[in-house]
Amino acid sequence: MVLVATFIKRPGPRWTGLLPWRVLLRLRAPGVVLRWLVAGRGASPVLLRQIREASRAVSSDVLAARIREHLIVNVVRELRRIAVPILYLQGVKDRLIRPQAWRTIRRAKPEVVLARIAAPHMVLQTAPKESWEKIVRFAGESA
């Protein structure tokens, strides 16, 4: 199993639940915000366009509901029950998922293997070759 730039327990401060997400998500994020938050400085115009298209394909109500779910998630027990090898790909330049997320995963399941990649939140999209190499190496070592 491969986990990428994710978390198992609420990743942010409680005050983020007070933000008017439905309204905020209706606004079109400028390229600089997308680069800073999820895609990284070197993000191509193609990637930025794909992010915008994907976000427009989902209603702001649905996105706001997803954010509310993120604020209450706690799947620590579920992670502990997983019986297969797990790799966690962490973007070291990730501004959405803080390093605390990895520490929570490691405390819950110490045998999870960490692979750090010099990438922003969109690890697979911005560092596909390095991600693939880490996954293949992990799969070979876990077989």
Indicate if the pLDDT at residue 17 is higher than 70. Answer: no
CB 87 within 8 A of CB 2: yes
Indicate if the pLDDT at residue 33 is higher than 80. Answer: no
* List of residues 6+ apart from 75 with CB closer than 8 A: 8, 9
Residue whose C-alpha is closest to residue 66's, from 125, 5, 16? 16
pLDDT in tens, 55-71: 777 777 787 777 777 78
Instruction: Give 15's pLDDT tier (boundaries 50, 70, 90).
Output: low
Architecture of domain 2-9+74-142: 3-Layer(aba) Sandwich (3.40)
Which regions of the chain carry the CATH code 3.40.50.1820? 2-9+74-142
pLDDT in tens, 81-135: 999 999 999 999 998 888 889 999 999 999 999 999 999 898 998 899 999 999 9
